[in-house]
Structures are given as structure tokens and as C-alpha cells.
Amino acid sequence: MNSILAIDRGCRAPPDESGPPKVWARFQRLTPHLLLAITTLGGVLRAYQIGDQGLWLDEAFSVWLAQRPVGEMIDWIVRIDQHPPLYYLLLHLWMSLGRDEIAVRMLSALCGTLTIPVMYLLGHRLADDGVGLLAALILAVSPFHVRFAQEARMYTLLTLNASLALYALTRLLTDARSAELSLGQQLVDLRLARRVARTAQGEAVPEGEDHPDDPQEPYRHPDACISRRWLPLRAIKTDLAWLGYILFTAATLFSHNTAILFPVATNVLVLGLLVAQRRPHPSASPMVPLAPPSPRNWALAQAGVFLLWSPWLAGFVAQSAGVYQEFWIPPPTLETVAGTLATFLSAFLPPQIGWLRAAWVLYAGLALLGLIRLWRQPGRLALLLTVFLTPFAGELLISLRRPIFYTRTLIWASLPLYLVLAAGIGRLRSRACALAATLMLVVVNGVSLRAYYADFQKEQWDDAAALVAQRAAPADLILFNATWVQIPFDYYFHTYNRDVAEHGAPVDLFDRGVLEPRMTTSDLPRLRTLIRDHGRVWLVYSHDWYTDPQGLIPSALEEKLGVREQWDFHGLQIRLYAAQ
């Protein structure tokens, strides 16, 4: 942890003094220890009860895909899924450690935990240590992020990659060399940087090793104040930031298809800074203002991102066409957007709590204070607002044609919101007020986390499979209405080694090349043929609101059989049909 902080600090502008200058000063020496404690807290929250519930539908699908050979996996992803392959490939490797609920979810927990120190670095780079620590703390105790860190899906990987790309971008925007030096130049100049370090340490520079542009004056490198221990990394930090931005932006795109809005956001920001550069904005802040990189460097970086992502372009187009043709997400409303913001702030907050409104007043007040603090730093304010608003606006615009607005896909947009809240706490003028606001925020999220751990329920495929395995006979038929729900059912049912025939309605698993084919009247003859020779049929009925909204499957079964018993589980029903 100390090495992370040492690499990031170096020679920086004075800390932001638009807020209280001394509130967090006493904590500076404790920063590495506090960050370690916050990261540990976040890791513990993400690991707590991680395996207590069974895999639900999407998680079981992740495991099913990750178990395939890589070539077959990619083929299935393009044909039936709506996500890029990076998470599935990582899970494919990760499952060498185990395939139970804890093992497959720990990859997401690890990604979520690693995002916490990156959040600190973002806050530290954009403001100071206090904002960095507060932003890391808000992320660590966020119920929204804890929930998805306990799910075998790609959302915490998406957040980690986006945070790393965003951190690399903030380094570029706060480093004048990103505009002055050609991309890759510092790698060439590493030898010169080492000579500079010798000058900084008071050593004599051999004749002929002075800066070539001015042989009469020894070259004073911007990093001359740092120790020689970190010089090799600091000397090429701009090039490393460029490399980080390119790699992690591409990784973000490989994490989720809606992350195409991340490079949209960064390009909007940089182009805006290039335009604003021609009309300088007076700033009262002592911090180094954000400045855009050179257009040439930026264009090369975008080309690098596209080059790395281009192998997935055909898959992206194929998946996008499938989503455009048919998808299950309903059109967004104002209530949907408001619900997303509430989820970002404190998901699972019990509505019956008397001080619920006070919690939202707290968040609104801190956000307002954060915006006031950032108002004197227009570049930083523009960065956070652009990264926050662009994915919202993008998904809403796309949803005018095909609804895709979904809270979990916007998870990386929560990061700038947390940074604004942290800046708001840092704006408070006294240490007591700042600590009180921090404590209130932690308490609110603690209440939400308690509700999450106690009340949040995943689909109960483990219990349903156990019931059928205990009662089914070899001559029975197990029928699935939404064909891909066979995946989570079989994940548990096959552990009982029961040999019972299984079929899907309207078709068997993926026979139509789509995840959830809908039942129509033209599919009824096949269904009647399937059940003709069976005296008992187990119907696994789930997601029927989408796949069988007319109730065609139960009606067809009741033509020949009667409902003997029915069991309700969270997310599904088990119905036993038998001859009367």
C-alpha cells in the first residue's frame, strides 16, 4: 500500500485550499494505514455470507459458459449472450480454484475490493488525501457494490477496469507532459531522467550530460524532487498513464457492451477541454488545472483502444442486432432513473425507517457541498459530471429505440458520484462536522447492508432441485418453460445423480439460438407430444411473464393431467402434474 502512495505522489501542486485546509492534515501520516483498513473492511463486507445462497439464473449461466472450451465459449457468447467475453474468460481460468458458490463469486469480490484503493488514488489525484480516503470509504461500504461483488457476473470487473482507465486519464489531464511530449517519448528519455536524479541528489553531472537544449544550465526535470528509488517509474509516468488508459479502456469495453459509453464520455471531456483551452477560465483554486493532452497523442490513444477492441467488433454488432430485435428490459421512466440514483447511494435502505428522508437530505447536502467545492475547479467538475451523466444520457437515448437502461450496467457511473460526496464532506469547515457527516453516511449504509444480508433473496434453484430430486421417479418428465432455467436447475439437480428426462418448452435449450424463446400456439403440438407417454410431469415454471405470458404451457398440461402439488420458491414454481 505504501508503494502505491509513493508512486502517486511525487511533486504535485499544493493541496486544494478551497475547503478546510486542516481538517484532514493530521491524518496524512496515517493515510497508508487508513487505506489498508478501509480496503480490508470492504473486502470483509464483500466476503461475508458470500456462499450462503445458491446461484441464481445469471450466475449459473456464467458458470455454464465458463466451463466450455474457449473456442466453444466464444461461439456461444456471440450466438446467445449480450456481453463481451472478458469476464467469462477470467472465470474460466478462475474456476480451476473451485466451482462452488464461494469460489465462483470470489472473483467478483476480489475485483470489487481492488477497486477501493483505485478510488483512493482518484480522489487523491483530483483533490487530496482526505477526499481519496472518504471516496474509498463510501465505495467500501456501498450496499450496491457489495451486492454485485457477491455475484458471479461481470459488473465489478467492469467497475475495476473503468476506475483504472479513469485514473490513468486523470494523470494525463494533470500532467503537462501529455501535451508537450509525443506519446512514447519518455520511454526514450529514461536515461536522461536517471541523469536528472543524480543532479537532484547533488551529484556532479559528467561533462556532456547536461540538457542538450541548454548546455550552460543543468536540466531540472519536473520530478527532480522525488527520491531516486521511484525515479524509473516516475520518469516514464506519462507514457505509463497513456498505456494504462489504452489498456484499461479496452478492458472496460471487453467487460460490458454498454461500456461503449465510457470512451464516449472521455472523448466528450477531452474535446471540451480542448475547446475551453482557447478561452481560459479563471480559477481561484491553487490546484493544477486540468489540461487536455495534445490532439495527436489523444488520437493515437483512441486508435490504440480501437485496435485492441476491434477483434470483438463483429461480436458486438451481432449481439447488438439481437438485442435490437428482441430484449426484455422495459422502457425507462423518471421513477426508473430516480431509483437508480437511490440504489447508487444506499441500496436496500428499509423504507419504514423514520429518518429515511433525513438520509436523502444528508446525501443531497453533501452532493451540493461537493459541487460548490468543485465549482472553483471547473476542469475537475467537468470530468466528474461528464463521466456521471454520459452513461445515463447515452442509455436513455438508446432506449428511445430499444430499452437498455438498467441500473447494474451503469455501475461505473457511481464512482464520480461518490467522489462528489467525498468532496462535500471535505468541504465542511470543522473536523467535528466532517467526522459526524462521515459517521452518518457509514451508519446509513450499515443499516442498508444489514437489510441486504438479512433480507435479500436470490432465486432458490438449489432448494427446488433438491425437492424434485427427492420425489421424482425415473419415468417422470421434467419440463422447463423458459428453456435456459434448465442451467441453474441442472447445476444442482445433477449433483443428485438422478436419471430423469428433461425437455424445454417451446424448444430445448438454445435450439432457436436465443436465451428465452417465447411460447406460441404453434409450439403446442410439440408440447403435447412430449407429455403423451408420461403419467407425471414436473413443470419448472419461471420467468413466465416473459416466456409464457398467455399461460399456454399450464393450459396444455391440464388437458391431460391435473395439478397434484405445487411448491413456491423465490423466483420460480415447481408444479407436479399427474394423471387423474
> Among candidates 368, 294, 288, 369, which has minimal Cα distance to 125?
288
Instruction: Please give the pLDDT value at position 183.
Output: 82
Q: Which residue has the higher pLDDT, 332 or 5?
A: 332
Instruction: Identify which of 105-119, 327-341, 364-378, 501-515 has the greatest average pLDDT.
Output: 105-119
- As a whole number of angstroms, the distance between CA 198 and CA 84 comes to 48
Q: Is residue 407 over pLDDT 60?
A: yes
Do residues 133 and 35 touch, judged by C-beta distance below 8 A?
A: yes
Instruction: Please calculate the CA angle 61-399-77 and round it to the nearest 5 degrees.
Output: 25
Domain boundaries along the sequence of the chain: 2-455, 461-578
Residues linked to residue 573 through DSSP beta bridges, in sequence order? 541, 568
Cell of 192: 536522461
What b-and-e string marks burial along 479-494, b requiring 16 or more CB atoms within 10 Å of the CB? bbbbbbbbbbbbbbbe
Rounded mean pLDDT, 331-351? 94
Pairing of strands 477-480, 536-541: parallel
pLDDT at 244: 96
Sign of the four-CA dihedral 193, 198, 201, 204: negative
Percent of the chain with pLDDT over 70: 84
DSSP string covering 113-175, please? HHHHHHHHHHHHHHT-HHHHHHHHHHHHT-HHHHHHHTSSSSHHHHHHHHHHHHHHHHHHHT-
Most confident of 237-246, 374-383, 407-416: 407-416
Cell (9 digits) for 489: 436447475
- Rounded to an integer, what distance in angstroms lies between the CA atom of residue 54 and that of residue 56? 6
Confidence of residue 144 (pLDDT cuts 50, 70, 90): very high
Q: The cell 429515511 sits on which residue?
A: 356
Confidence of residue 198 (pLDDT cuts 50, 70, 90): low
Sequence-ordered list of residues with C-beta below 8 angstroms from that of 535, at least 6 positions apart, any chain = 475, 578, 579
